[in-house]
Amino acid sequence: METNSILLAFLLTMIAGLSTGVGSLIAFFAKRTNTKFLSAALGFSAGVMVYISFMELMPEAVGMLGQQMSARMSHITMLLAFFAGTSFIALIDFLIPEDENPHEVHRVEELADRQRLRRTGVMLALAISIHNFPEGLATFASALGNLDVAIPIVIAIAIHNIPEGIAVSVPIYQATGSRKKAFWYSLLSGMAEPVGALIGFLFLLPFWTPLIHALLLAFVSGIMVFISFDELLPGAEKYGHHHYGIGGVITGMAVMAFSLLLFL
C-alpha cells in the first residue's frame, strides 16, 4: 500500500468521526429536530452503504479471492468474512447497555427530558469508543480503495454520526451542566473512529496481503449492512416519516449507482 493512500484513508476516517461534533452543536442550538430531514438523511446513508456493500465491496472481495482459489471457495470465503463482520458488530451492540448506546437515536427535545440517560462522561465515552471502533475500521478499509467508493461511504458514515452526536452530548450536558464539556466529549467520542482505524491497521499491517485485503472488504461489508438494518433504517422509521426514509434509501442507491457509472 502506498503511503499517500494510507494517509488519505486516515484523513477521511477522521472527517467522518468529526461529524459527531456537528450533532452536538445541533443538540445545543436546535429547539426541535427536523425529523423529516433526519429520516431522509438516515435512509440515504443506509441506501449508500447497502448498495456499496452488495454491488461493489463484496464483488471486489470475490474477485480478489478468485485469484487465489476456486470460484466456489472464493464465494464461500467471502460469505464467511461477511457474516463474521455482522456478528462482530452485533456482539458489540449487544454488550453495550441500551441506555449508554449512542446508536439509540432520539429527538433533541426527547433527550432533554430523559433523566435516566444521565451518565458520567467517562463511562459514556468509553461505551461510545467501543461501539465506534468497528465503524472506524470500516471507513478506513473502504477508503483504502478507490475514491469513488470511499467518499460516499465517508459521507454516509458522517450523516450517521450526526444523530449519534446528539444522543451523546445531551446526556453529558445534563450530567455536568457544561456545554463545552458535552461538546468535547461528543467530539472525542467520534475520534474513536480514526483511533479504531489506526489500531486495526497496525494490527493487520504485519500480515497484510491481498488475501487479508479481500477478507477485510467482505468483513467491512458485513459491518455496514448491519449498521444499515439495525440502526439507520429503524432510526429513519421511528420518526413516523416512512416515505421520507424509503425515499432516502432509493436516492442513496441511485446516487451511488450513477457515481460508480461515471468511473466505468
Which residues participate in the annotated binding site for Zn(2+)?
135, 160, 164
Which grid cell sits at 187?
A: 467530539
Binding residues: 132, 135, 160-161, 164, 193
Distance, CA of 40 to CA of 38 (rounded, Å): 5
DSSP codes, 52-107: HIIIIIHHHHHHHHHTTS-HHHHHHHHHHHHHHHHHHHHHHHHHS-GGG-TTS---
Task: Name the residue type at position 134.
Answer: P
Which residues are annotated binding-site positions for Fe(2+)?
A: 132, 135, 161, 164, 193
Burial class (CB in 10 A: 0-12, 13-18, 19+), 148: middle
3-class SS shares of the chain: helix, strand, coil, % to 5: 85, 0, 15
Angle at 119 between CA 161 and CA 160, to 5 degrees: 10
Q: Which three cell numbers stand for residue 71?
A: 470460484
Task: Dig out the grid coordinates for 144 from the structure.
Answer: 483504502
Distance in angstroms (rounded) separating the CA atoms of residues 67 and 238: 44
Compute the chain's Rg from CA coordinates. Answer: 18
Cα of 72 vs its chain's centroid, Å: 30
